[in-house]
Amino acid sequence: MAEGRKAATINRYLAAIKYLIKVGRNLKRCQYHFDSDRIESLKVTKYRDTRGVGVDEYNKVFDVIDTTSVKGKRDYALFLLLWANVLRRGEVAKLKVGDFDYHENTLIVYGKGQGNDGTRIDLNPFVAEAIADWLGCRMNLKPSDPLFIALDFHNYGHQLTGDGIYAMVRKTCERAGIKKRMTPHKIRHSGITDALDLAEGDYRKVQHLSRHADPRTILVYEDNKNQYQLELTNKLAARVGKRRDGR
């Protein structure tokens, strides 16, 4: 906590220690007890800041992507997919060639958990075409091959990892002159916020897009977009703080 770690991170550390003690006791190699009454998990506040960038700002990335190069075709498809389908970087990192169906314009996405169940999502034909164009640069593809691969000398052909996607997004957005610190999840936030406008506030539609388990999560995006809290704070502040004699 003193190091400023987030609550979710601290809770993961606590869970790991608790499990380690349990295993140690089962193996009769540890005499410790995890005192849950004294060591409490921290309350996690999710999605405190869902503010991203507008579509005009995001479009700057496409000005610096050379779609005539192999790397450019990969990055172009990836940036389209991140915005249009608001995917998490972990979901993108799991994608295989066989998960993409060009004829049906669909993609099977595996969520945050460790299960094998995938969700079939629809792709815009323009996005599907960009993915197909990227795959057309590769030879002898198999369904089990990664959909997105690294292209640098040392890692060529390996699955593009979550960290690799993160680094690519940061570098490209900085090169494009986007002032906000961008990450794959910030792109997801931006796409969901833009979708709220396009759906005219229909939370259910946006929930199907974002695949959030709880539709109430979308309310946080709505508040950050419209700044309802700031609006009411300003109105409340205007009603207090003045001397009753008018001075």
- Residue 149 burial (CB count, 10 A): 17
What is the C-alpha separation between 65 and 74, in angstroms, rounded? 10
CATH class of the structural domain 55-225: mainly alpha
Sequence letter at residue 8 = A
Question: What pLDDT is stored for residue 213 in this prediction?
Answer: 76
Q: Looking at residue 118, what is its pLDDT? A: 86
b/e per residue, 83-103, with b = 16+ CB within 10 A? bbbbbbbebbbbbbbebbeee
DSSP, collapsed to helix, strand or coil, labels residue 159 as: strand
- Phi, psi at residue 209, to the nearest 5°? -70, -50
Q: What is the DSSP letter of 61?
A: G
Residue 47: per-residue pLDDT: 47
The mean-pLDDT minimum among 4-18, 45-59, 152-166 falls in 45-59
pLDDT at position 35 is 81
Name the average pLDDT for the chain: 86
Distance CA 20, CA 194 (A): 43
Task: Quote the pLDDT of residue 114.
Answer: 47
Kindly state the tokens that stand for 192.
Answer: 């969901």
- Domain ranges within the chain, ordered by starting residue: 1-45, 55-225
Q: What is the pLDDT of residues 68-111, one digit of tens each?
A: 999 999 999 999 999 999 999 999 999 999 999 999 999 999 97
| DSSP per-residue string spanning 2-24 | TT---HHHHHHHHHHHHHHHHHH
pLDDT for the residue 226: 67
